[in-house]
Structure 1
Amino acid sequence: MTLPLRFIIDGYLIDMSRSEVTGKAGSIKVEPKVLQVLLLLAQNAQQVVSHQQIMEQVWQGSEVVPNALQRCIARLRKVLDDDAKSPRIIATHPKIGYRLMVDVQWQQEQPKQRAVINNPRELKGRWKWLALVVLIMTLGLFFAVFTTSLELKIKSIKTITHTDSFESEVSYSPNGQYIVFNRQTQSCYSHIWAKNLKTGIESRLSEQAGFYRDTRFTFDGRSIIFTQQKNCDQKAREFEPQSANCWQINSLDFAASLSSPQPAAVRYQCQNQSISRPIALPNHQYAFLQTEHGNSGLIHYNALNQQSDILFAPSALSIYSYDYSPVQSQYAVIGFNPDSEHVLSILNEQGRVLQQHIVTLQKTILPLAQFEIRYSNEGDALLAVNDGTLYHLNLNGELSEYKPLLQNIISVDKHPKNAQVIAITGYKDTDIANVPIYTEHNTPIQSGINQSVQPYKSFARTKSAEKSAKFQPFSDLIAFISERSGNDEVWLWDGAQATQLSDFANNSRIEQLTWSPDGKQIAVVSNGLLKLIDLDGNTQSFNAPVLLEKVAGWHQNSSLLVTATAANARALWALDLKTLQFTPLPIEGVINTWSTSHTLYFSHLNGKVFRVSLPIDSQAPEHMSALNGKSLVLSQNKFYSYDPTSRYLSMYNLEGELIKQIRPLKPFAWKLSDVKGQHMLLEQVIEVNQDIIELELSYDH
């Protein structure tokens, strides 16, 4: 049997006939000998292939330059984005050979059909037999189709953009000729762009830069609608604004904007509540998600009379994504129920529930990872993205994944006429810096997004995401979360080297960590479970009444605060470490907490900070308007907070009153993680990379 000339490894398509490798960054021509080495390793996947065997089969006794094989392996690693020090694709066995560490998916070529000329007399004598054969084959095909499940495949990948900017929110025009997307180069410097997929010509549509999201065509293709987040200083250079005073819906005339950039028309005036995913309905109607204090609802807005109505906001669901099908005239809404299960609701145009199902999750899906959904052209199914993977979601909640599995898919939109899907793909590389609080650094930093920068010197530098660094109380360790081993794990930094402390199950996801007040334990939530880890790596797990999101703080010695998504809000729970009892607290929408012996401070998603006295009763929380909850640390009864308006690190007292401005922080390093003595830990963005790709899907049985 001859092996096919096309195969897939780790998301890369290798085409031997074209000497070409296609990945998320596009297609690359590779020398034939180099690919012959890869083919031989693929034929013996998971097995060591000796140096001698490779030389004999690839070079077949011909003279070669010194280190020819080593150069081929180095070239393959570069093309496949593999690291020789910590390989994930090609392993080196010193003085022996090499081994392909991943599985191979072979793509069989379609056999060419031979043209056969039959004698008419013979054909006439066999027509009955031919008819019978056709009937049998038809019945066989019928039963094969309807008794076997679809195998969903990503057939090809095509790079659409690969720029130094940050692309997001892409969608097709109704005729499939154009795509429209948001392109961001700085924090408050977004523009709406269109690209003609046939000619490749790009056109900037928006006249005024701003902070834009949710770019999408109207269903008739005449206009583009998008959200604009206000309170966005054009001179700001951070990755994203820290706060906003209102959100609005804008639109652009598509034909006019193609000729020259146009000013946006406001369709929905600025509101204090966060809004997202606006969809233009017929007759100047709009739908969008609105979030306030952690509660989300699907809203219907009539632009003619400027009236808003709640379309769907059940108290037992925490809605996070939705879409609308003009073909079926219905909505698909997905959210969490009180048991943290994903519930898919299908609604008519008036918001009445037509059907409702719990999504059947596969074992590889993280329980609290959210789905981004888009209707298919016919409105009978959904495309869903979860944790970087593309899925087919039936309206009855059945889920199937597309293979080969691609990583880092963020959002998708279905082509209106064929099997193409336009997608945003990318990653974010963050690091941690240990910086003196009062020392000024004047090194200039470029302000673009899709670039590698290092505002301050990082410790334990990798190309993976590092976050949530915390100083150990009463000692010198720093704990942080890193995905350098393939999953989110807890790591320790002793000032010289990093050591992995935890060893959780595959696909673990951790939002943040907290030290115990005595510095002997670390608390995290991994895949919905609260875990305590001692400094020897011993782990104790606690089952809560609900699936948990993250640890929110350690209150004194005896109580841990955690958050959970349930009942249409981010609920706050307390674990009494003496009785091991979980108790819900009467506060909703909590993202982070800070506490003293008598007061609990907490933040919402928009960064607003509030406080209540302990124990919590029916008192109304007090807003601490000067504090930014997205970059805030409480240390020695002082708040250290980054002010997005002045761009300064400032110190405040427990009343939220400014004590002094300390120093400006560099762009991409504004997020304060911890403070201890004269030092602070900063999360900094090293590289952000999001681009547009087009996938061709196939459905095989």
Structure 2
Amino acid sequence: MAVQYWIGDFFVDLSRNQITQNGQSQVIAPKALAVLTCLAENQGRVLSHDALLDKVWQDTVVSTNTLQRSIAQLRKAFGDDSKVQVYIKTHAKQGYSLECDVRWHDNANSTSTDSISIKNIQEKTVDETQAKESRTKENDISEALSDTISVVQTATNTSTNTETSSVTHSVDRPKSSLSAIRLITITFGIIILVIIGYQYLAAKQPSKLSFGELRALTSTDNKELASIYSPDGEYIVFHRYSEEFCTNNVWAKNTQTQQEYQLTKNLDSYGSHSFSKDGKNLVFIKTGGCSKPSTQKKCYKLMSLDFNKALMSPQSPSVLMECNNSEIRSPKWLDNNNIALLQKFSDRWKLISYSVSENKSQDLYALENGNIIDYDYSVKDDLLALTSFHNDGYYYIEVLKADGQLLSSHRIKYPEEIANFRLIYPNFSPIENQLIFSTGKQLFTLSYDGQVFNISLPLDESMGTPTFHPDGDRMIVIKGHYDSDIVSVPLSLINKGLINKGQINQDQINKAQITQAQTTKTESNQNKKVSIIQRSIRGEDKAKLQPNGNLIAYRSERSGEEQLWVTDGSSSQQLTHFPMDTFLSGLDWAADGKSILVNANYLLTQVNLDSTQEPLPLEYPVVKLFQWDSKNNSALVLIRIKGILKFAELNLANSQTRIISNQTVSWALKSGNGQLIYKDNMDRFWQPGPAEDKLIEALNGQGSTKQKFLIKEDVIYGINDNFQLWSYDLNEERFEIIGSLPNNVDNLTDINQTQVLITVRISSNKEVAELYLRE
């Protein structure tokens, strides 16, 4: 067995008990290095705890804790930890595996092209990958340079021998001139080789996108989104939603004349659009309530619209296909006049092709043990690009022909600027083999082989769904921001019906702030009007009352990024400093009120009131945090396993996962006595029973798609689609309408004996803009 080997950029020397990187050496315990060597000899394979103990601690009785300490020491040496497992991966209840490439000393100079695996999608950074590729290319050039010099020297020596053999005929040629010729020849060869090598390296660097001017295309009080270009680039098509009139229609705008056209005349909800190749027709998804819902609350229809007629006057779109028991989205009109769609049955998506002429569909691509997340279609190349999760739990980019034939499949290498488990929604770009996507305030390119590169364009507000113009010189984006406030409403006012059923607007907020400032501290909460807990020009929400205290924890974007804050009513404190494009999905207080569990970027982190943090290592990314039971050290969550969402309970002490249900769950909580209540995708309320789950029929029709629910002790509180606050006593099975709330309430976040905390929407601006490439 070799006593020296490489693991990535780390040199392992068993003879010195050292691991070295960049000239920095660390002394490691011999047993820990023995564990590492055993894993290295079985690189990529999972070795059980027993196998490692038997191999390293032969004839010695030790516990698994001894092995765990060795693994922890190795991870520390590699800069790894139990959360981000770049080198040594933990397989729950199975063992460990070494995921990085290994180069033994005998062939340490050879370069492996195997990709480096990281736990749950994360890969080594692009910089490291580029460095490795650069080293490989430099080695290739060095070898080629050596070969060329040898050839030149051989040729020169041959010439010299020939000249020597004929010296009697050329006695007048000076020896110095022969040396000069050899030197010039070698130098000339080196210069040529350097030029070729430079061109070789430069050719392998990815093309760069550089954007200059940003122009607004729509600037109204409405919300514009889901924009695309017409095939000739003359028009943009988008949705326009008016909160004032509660209308949503498809619009078009001529980018040259700036004239706008309303294309539809029916109130409804629409999805993304796609043009036929000739630009004469539009298709999009229309969603609405099902007359007889069986498996889902909303039904989905693939609609078609005559674009030229709609430019003359608004039209009613026609139905091409209707889905009452499956969800469809993202229609793309293919070159063969079929329409590609993502279709979801149960919890899994597949890509299908719908034939308009034959009125039937067929599968294009599906994953048996994975899930498709998104896709795009290139009219120019007649190719499909998909992002998906595979059976190994990693995120992939796949390129297909329009008939579904798979051309390539590669794991996506996440750079450090993107959260490990963030989903990617790329679109084709004018750069060959490159797609483009946004994470909010950052733009990236994604190559067909999974490499991600940052486009240097930091933005002060989020921009999404980048889509290029047919000419490739600019792209369309949706930009804007969301403004919401945290409001406290006295229960007494709701009971008496004194809350305005309209919207709480900015004027009312200003008046409420003045009223609150003038209110004396001796007044009771019941006598106060609506109180503004937190107000900024950015989003403030997810407010939760501190148990046995006076603080309120909440999420805020006031610092430019989503962060966790607390307030005592007079002053506020920022507890976290998460990186750019962070998103928070759920937070909850500990029972003692001394810390908060927050779900940031799919990872659970316990945040103390002094701002110290403790990340909790988990096997799967957490999509939603429903509830934290700090006493039992467990959490109700929605997690993603191989791309599929699962409702689960996590044991935070040992990271074990218990799947509660495989059906779609939108929200879940436990009551004071431990009863589990959850809401399904049809907004029905359920509680588990001994044989099967029981439907709470008294709450049929009281669930709202947007609204969560609360449980205090054994009473459920919620808001229905009529913006009414209601309660349901689980013990007495008694339902009651408490009163009305403003119709711009976005969520019910907490409640106690005297007040209700809600999030109210002040504005939600979205507009269409164009980013122009630099010439």
Structure 1 residue 181 and structure 2 residue 238: aligned? yes
- Measure the CA separation in 1 of the matches of 2:658 and 2:489: 38
Q: CA deviation at 1:696?
A: 1.1
Residues 372-383 of structure 1: pairs in structure 2 closer than 5 A: 372-376=425-429, 380-383=433-436
**Structure-2 residue corresponding to 1:660:** 736
Q: CA deviation at 1:340?
A: 5.7
Residues 74-89 of structure 1: pairs in structure 2 closer than 5 A: none
Structure 1 residue 207 and structure 2 residue 265: aligned? yes
**Structure-2 residue corresponding to 1:640:** 717
Residues 155-170 of structure 1: pairs in structure 2 closer than 5 A: 155-170=212-227
Q: CA deviation at 1:457?
A: 4.5
| Shift in CA distance, 292/604, structure 1 to aligned 2, threshold 3 Å | farther
Larger mean CA deviation between 425-434 and 332-341 belongs to 332-341
Q: CA deviation at 1:179?
A: 0.9
Query: 2:684 touches 2:695 (CA, 8 Å); kept in 1?
Result: no
**Structure-2 residue corresponding to 1:354:** 407
| Shift in CA distance, 507/172, structure 1 to aligned 2, threshold 3 Å | closer
Deviations 1:161-210 (A, max 9, x none): 11111110111111111111111103851111111111111111112232
Residues 48-59 of structure 1: pairs in structure 2 closer than 5 A: none
Q: CA RMSD in A?
A: 3.4
TM-score (norm 2): 0.65
When the two structures are aligned, how many residues end up with a matched partner? 550
**Structure-2 residue corresponding to 1:681:** 757
Query: Counterpart amino acid of 2:475?
Result: V
- Measure the CA separation in 1 of the matches of 2:215 and 2:364: 38
Deviations 1:8-46 (A, max 9, x none): xxxxxxxxxxxxxxxxxxxxxxxxxxxxxxxxxxxxxxx
| Shift in CA distance, 306/492, structure 1 to aligned 2, threshold 3 Å | same
Query: Counterpart amino acid of 1:534?
Result: N
- Measure the CA separation in 2 of the matches of 1:504 and 1:181: 33
| Shift in CA distance, 620/357, structure 1 to aligned 2, threshold 3 Å | farther
| Shift in CA distance, 629/213, structure 1 to aligned 2, threshold 3 Å | closer
Q: Which of the residues 608, 612, 615 maps onto 2:688?
A: 612
Q: CA deviation at 1:525?
A: 2.0
TM-score (norm 1): 0.71
Query: 1:161 touches 1:692 (CA, 8 Å); kept in 2?
Result: yes
Query: 1:193 touches 1:204 (CA, 8 Å); kept in 2?
Result: yes
**Structure-1 residue corresponding to 2:476:** 422
- Measure the CA separation in 2 of the matches of 1:637 and 1:379: 59
Q: Which of the residues 633, 644, 647 maps onto 1:572?
A: 647
Query: 2:489 touches 2:755 (CA, 8 Å); kept in 1?
Result: yes
Q: Which of the residues 299, 302, 310 maps onto 2:355?
A: 302
| Shift in CA distance, 474/338, structure 1 to aligned 2, threshold 3 Å | farther
Q: CA deviation at 1:600?
A: 2.2
- Measure the CA separation in 2 of the matches of 1:381 and 1:580: 38
- Measure the CA separation in 1 of the matches of 2:507 and 2:304: 33
- Measure the CA separation in 2 of the matches of 1:324 and 1:447: 43
Residues 222-371 of structure 1: pairs in structure 2 closer than 5 A: 222-231=280-289, 244-281=297-334, 285-337=338-390, 341-371=394-424
Q: CA deviation at 1:565?
A: 1.9
**Structure-1 residue corresponding to 2:279:** 221
Query: 1:315 touches 1:568 (CA, 8 Å); kept in 2?
Result: no
Query: Counterpart amino acid of 2:567?
Result: W
- Measure the CA separation in 2 of the matches of 1:389 and 1:452: 34
**Structure-1 residue corresponding to 2:31:** none
What are structure 1's unaligned runs of at least 5 residues? 1-134, 234-242
Q: Which of the residues 451, 457, 467 maps onto 1:404?
A: 457
What is the percentage of aligned positions where both structures have the same residue?
26
Q: CA deviation at 1:582?
A: 4.0
Higher relative contact order (CA 8 A, sep 6+): 1
Larger mean CA deviation between 672-681 and 341-350 belongs to 341-350
**Structure-2 residue corresponding to 1:469:** 543
What are structure 2's unaligned runs of at least 5 residues? 1-191, 513-529
Deviations 1:601-625 (A, max 9, x none): 23356645443248xxx84574764
Q: CA deviation at 1:419?
A: 0.9
| Shift in CA distance, 412/389, structure 1 to aligned 2, threshold 3 Å | same
- Measure the CA separation in 2 of the matches of 1:577 and 1:546: 12
Query: 2:564 touches 2:575 (CA, 8 Å); kept in 1?
Result: yes
Residues 7-86 of structure 1: pairs in structure 2 closer than 5 A: none
Structure 1 residue 197 and structure 2 residue 255: aligned? yes
Q: CA deviation at 1:657?
A: 6.7
Q: CA deviation at 1:441?
A: 4.2
Deviations 1:99-121 (A, max 9, x none): xxxxxxxxxxxxxxxxxxxxxxx
**Structure-2 residue corresponding to 1:562:** 637
Structure 1 residue 171 and structure 2 residue 228: aligned? yes
Helix, strand or coil at the partner of 2:309? helix
Q: CA deviation at 1:666?
A: 1.3
| Shift in CA distance, 147/393, structure 1 to aligned 2, threshold 3 Å | closer
Larger mean CA deviation between 256-265 and 202-211 belongs to 202-211
Helix, strand or coil at the partner of 2:289? coil
Query: 2:480 touches 2:766 (CA, 8 Å); kept in 1?
Result: yes
Q: CA deviation at 1:490?
A: 2.0
Query: 2:435 touches 2:446 (CA, 8 Å); kept in 1?
Result: yes
